[in-house]
């Protein structure tokens, strides 16, 4: 070997540099047993949704296939919060809801719902707030709103559905149950539902929800 040259012997060393899974986005070290087990578990949840094992639920809607929409309150057991927080973390690349559902629940006049499949996987959530007014969206490209506020009753703060379950009406079901429960005495009309953040993904959904006939309303929190 010439001076200054360097070589290494491969004795099956582990790859100590973490890699990011292109599917679920988790960072883990290949060859590290604990890391690979953790990744396998998270990856499975990313494919199917977070496993739901709670026995006590606060159901707001049952469907014919035994799936259901359940309310999450300030008085839940820790395993329930843990499951919901996993869902928040899973949606972090698309949402900015944080990773602690109790912070969302501490806000006044809010309702948090999750969608549980008939295989007991949590595959979506919605967080809404009871409001009094919002602004009609004039242009999405410029984010321009009308200057005059209009009446509104329900603001969608966060709405997320697992990628494997999109375009199958789960988001619509979540919104419909939310507008049926955010006010105690009546169902909020579709035309009085607003969105907090009209993202590129949200606009087509909201237009379809409003049957392409009504302007999208935008809620601006104080």
User: Mind listing the pLDDT tens digit for each residue in 139-191?
Assistant: 877 788 999 999 999 999 999 999 889 889 999 999 999 999 999 889 999 99
Where does the pLDDT of residue 24 fall: very low under 50, low under 70, confident under 90, or very high at 90 and above?
low
Task: For domain 53-218, give the CATH number.
Answer: 3.40.630.30
Q: What is the rounded average pLDDT of the residues 91-104?
A: 84
pTM: 0.81
Of 67, 59, 177, 64, the closest CA to residue 122 belongs to 67
pLDDT in tens, 44-72: 666 667 889 888 899 999 999 999 999 99
- Residue 98 clears pLDDT 90, i.e. is over it: no
pLDDT above 80 (res 5): no
pLDDT in tens, 119-145: 999 999 999 999 999 999 998 777 889
User: Are the C-beta atoms of 37 and 28 separated by less than 8 Å?
Assistant: no
* Strand 193-195 with 217-218, pairing: parallel
Domain borders along the chain are 7-48, 53-218
14 pLDDT tier (thresholds 50, 70, 90): low
């Amino acid at each position: 070997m010439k001076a200054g040259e360097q070589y290494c012997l491969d004795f099956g060393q582990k790859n100590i540099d973490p890699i990011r899974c292109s599917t679920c986005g988790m960072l883990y070290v290949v060859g590290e047993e604990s890391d690979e087990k953790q990744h396998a578990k998270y990856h499975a949840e990313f494919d199917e949704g977070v496993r739901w094992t709670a026995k006590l639920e606060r159901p707001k809607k049952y469907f014919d296939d035994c799936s259901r929409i359940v309310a999450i309150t300030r008085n839940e057991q820790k395993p329930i919060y843990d499951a919901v927080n996993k869902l928040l973390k899973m949606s972090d690349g698309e949402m900015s809801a944080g990773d602690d559902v109790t912070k969302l629940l501490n806000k006044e006049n809010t309702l948090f719902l999750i969608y549980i499949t008939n295989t007991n996987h949590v595959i979506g959530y919605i967080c809404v707030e009871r409001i009094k007014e919002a602004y009609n969206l004039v242009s999405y490209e410029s984010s321009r709103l009308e200057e005059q506020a209009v009446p509104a009753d329900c603001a969608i703060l966060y709405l997320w559905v697992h990628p494997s379950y999109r375009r199958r009406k789960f988001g619509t079901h979540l919104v419909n149950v939310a507008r049926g429960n955010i006010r105690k005495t009546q169902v909020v009309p579709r035309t009085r539902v607003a969105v907090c953040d009209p993202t590129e993904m949200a606009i087509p959904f909201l237009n379809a929800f409003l049957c392409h006939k009504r302007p999208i309303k935008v809620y601006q929190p104080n």
